[in-house]
Structure 1
Amino acid sequence: MTQTKVQEALRRAAQIARAARDITPAEAVAETDNGTLWRYQCDSKSPRIPLLIIYSLVNRPAILDLSAERSVVAHLIKKGFDVHLLAWRPPGQARRYLGLADYILGDIADAVGWLRRTSGAAPHVLGVCQGGVLALSYAATPMGQGTRSLTLLAAPIDTGSDSDRLAQLARSIDFNALIGATGNVPGQGLAGLFASLKPFALGPQRYSGLAELADADDQAIDTFMRMERWMYDGPDLAGQAFAEFAQQIYQDNALARGMLDLDGQRVDLSNVRCPVFNAYALDDHLVPVHAASGLEKRITGPCVEHALPGGHLGLFISKRAHQMLYPALSDWLHRIH
């Protein structure tokens, strides 16, 4: 009986996956060297405050727009923001030598500049996970001083703790040798690595209820399949940028120590003068509390920290996050002038 239910769930999931559409429609409005700037559509014609999302290089940004009920993007649009996303293009072997400076001082700076020119206002910037480190580093450079505000979601800022599992893993790897052998870093390999850090929750426990989906509505199955694609369909990463991030952020803890180097330009967090909203999850196995918290001691501008019960994914898709975190964030953003 259970086997029949699982087969039915998989059959329905395949049908729904073929018919799946984007939750929130968007159009490409500009190109940077290594990314595409997307603008999410909204019905309102009234002036809206520009907001730029900087996502991680590791995954695709679908987790921010997973379903109509649990969409960070849709919430921000509803609250009156002109939401844009800088979506990274897979590098290809010809761009294996792209470094962090190319993304931060090049693509992010270009996207922010385009928004300033077209809207006539400095945008809010929201960085997610690794994208939070990129956005924070940009705000700490001279060209980032015009940022209206900075929001960080689960950003690994201080990786110096011995209990940081990703940092422990990184310290045991020769990343120069790794990228020398692979060139770019395969996204599927990284997905398997992240799953291995929490094998039960992302393995048997996650699929134990698959049979129940046979009787679920289409929306529940669609959400499940979107999550599957997000977890295991990650893009390849430019080898040099991957190695630099792993070495400087995780092996050397360079961002927290004021030693992060972008093509000879030192990233000093005390240069961050814009208001910052820093959110993290209390039970995050990828970005633990000690890695994400305490930013107010390192920057010059005002900082609000928001700690949410739950794990890494819950920060983006849980009912609690959409009832507590994102209303608090949108209220805070509206108070920034």
Structure 2
Amino acid sequence: MAIESPFKEYIQELDVEKEKKRWEQLFKVFSEPEPKIGHTPRTEVWRKNKSVLWHYPAKQKKYEIPLFFVYSLFNKPYILDIAPKASVIEGLTNMGYEVYLLDWGSPGYEDKKMGLDTYIEKYLRTAVKRAIRHSGAEEITLIGYCLGGTIASIYASIADEPIKNLVVATVPIDFKPFIGPDQWAEGMRQGDINIDRFIDAYGVVPPQLVEGMFRAIGAPIYFTNYTMLLSRAHDQRYVDKWRRMNRWTRDQVPFAGEAYKQLANDLFKENKLVKGELMIGNKKVDLKNITANLYVVSGSRDNLILEEQSKPLMDLASSEDKTYVSVEAGHVSLALSGLFAKIVDQWASSRSNQL
């Protein structure tokens, strides 16, 4: 005689087909090759050391002023071209923009003396000049993402080149607010953690350490990625996006030692950018020198860069045309979803000299 369980109404009925698909997808995640990235057609315009300037032609050119992307030194920039129909760069070229991207490359031990001065004056400045010449345009739109936005803002404040528009997203400008263990911030700012000695020993910050740092700041969020994968492995579209994101988060690059010293000491510890005390070569960086049309984008769910780190640029820049927007997105999902392309277009379309 069969006995019916009194807990039947509380136990969800097992969906055999769904479970079969879930475990098949999980097997593929850990057995198949990494997914392909970088789908949008491009050509190399200029190269210096490990850095490359890429040009992504517009599908049908609609705007005279090209877009020039500056990405972070911490990560590889293919998050901006992660997958078809979810690519920021593909989206913008489809909308009629000529797009340029400066890929910093992966510095080696021989690049340990490269500081922010070198990156900005010898790489970024030259690349912008090449992009302007290559495009035949008289002005350019500079777009910086994360630390790339910090670098773009610094450059825009000392640039002689014709920058009409400056767009920065999830950008740290004020380094006083901090997401992460309080002991880290206190230790670095009081000198208990000696970054210079560590850099002198290693030359460059190893990619494994960069990955570990982001894991620690993002914990426990980083580990819930695997929980989410398990719970949604039956969804093939989600799994494909998860695999691309997972590849990017594990694909860190080394950080040139001298640049990291400047980042840790001048920006994080001393907050010189906001104070107007930062020096790039023999030039003092004063964000009041920024007169380009300014667009600052923050993510309301950003777990790495707080809005209060980005907002000060609105007051510091002298731009007459200034716009600030907070969108419902995280630090990475803003790019991963391709949403950033639409956000840029909504603002830049009226400021890019439509043909």
Whether TM-score is above 0.5 comes out as yes
Q: Is 1:192 the counterpart of 2:207 in the alignment? A: no
CA distance in 2, matches of 1:127, 1:267: 17
Contact 1:34-1:107 at 8 Å conserved across structures: no
- What does residue 150 of structure 1 align with? 166
The sequence identity of aligned pairs, in percent, is 28
Q: How does 1:193-212 map to 2 (within 5 A)?
A: 193-203=213-223, 205-212=224-231
Supply the AA of the counterpart residue of 2:334.
Answer: L
Does residue 131 (structure 1) correspond to residue 151 (structure 2)? The answer is: no
Greater shift after overlay, 122-131 or 60-69?
60-69
For the pair 1:263 / 2:281, whether they are aligned, the reply is yes
The within-5 A match list for 1:142-291 is 142-144=159-161, 146-161=162-177, 163-165=178-180, 168=185, 170-171=188-189, 173-203=193-223, 205-212=224-231, 214-217=233-236, 219-291=237-309
Query: Structure 1 pair 164/254, CA: closer, same or farther in 2 (3 Å)?
Result: farther
Q: Say whether the 8 Å CA contact 1:125–1:135 is kept in structure 2.
A: yes
What does 1:320-335 correspond to in 2, within 5 Å? 322=339, 326-335=341-350
Q: Deviations over 1:109-155 (max 9, x none)?
A: 011101121222222110111111111111000424x1121110111
Q: In the alignment, does 2:325 pair up with 1:306? A: yes
Say whether the 8 Å CA contact 1:17–1:222 is kept in structure 2: no
- Alpha-carbon distance in structure 1 between the residues aligned to 2:172 and 2:62: 36
Which residue in 1 is equivalent to 2:82? Answer: 66
Decide whether aligned partners of structure 1 residues 19 and 225 sit closer, same or farther in structure 2, where only a CA change above 3 A counts.
closer
Gaps of 5+ in 2: 1-15
SS at match of 2:222: coil
Structure 1 stretch 4-13 or stretch 121-130: which is displaced more?
4-13
What's the CA shift for 1:260?
0.9
In 1, the alpha carbon distance for the partners of 2:94 and 2:263 equals 34
Return the letter of the residue paired with 2:325.
H
> Once superposed, what is the RMSD of the aligned Cα atoms?
2.6
Give me the whole-angstrom Cα distance separating, in 1, the residues matched to 2:86 and 2:231.
21
Alpha-carbon separation, structure 1, partners of 2:244 and 2:343: 26
Unaligned 5+ residue runs, structure 1?
A: none
Q: Which residue of 1 aligns with 2:38?
A: 22
Give me the TM-score of the superposition, normalised by structure 2: 0.84
Instruction: Measure, in 2, the Cα distance between the counterparts of 1:189 and 1:148.
Output: 38
TM-score, normalisation: structure 1: 0.88
How many angstroms apart in 1 are the aligned matches of 2:34 and 2:343? 36
Q: Secondary structure at the match of 2:98?
A: strand
Q: Does the 8 Å contact 1:149/1:275 carry over to 2?
A: yes
Worse-superposed segment, 289-298 or 206-215: 206-215
Distance verdict in 2 for CA 1:81–1:244, change over 3 Å: same
**Does structure 1 retain, via aligned residues, the 8 Å contact 2:59–2:94?**
no
Per the TM alignment, residue 21 of structure 1 is displaced from its structure 2 partner at its CA by: 4.7
- The alignment of Structure 1 onto Structure 2 pairs a total of residues equal to 329
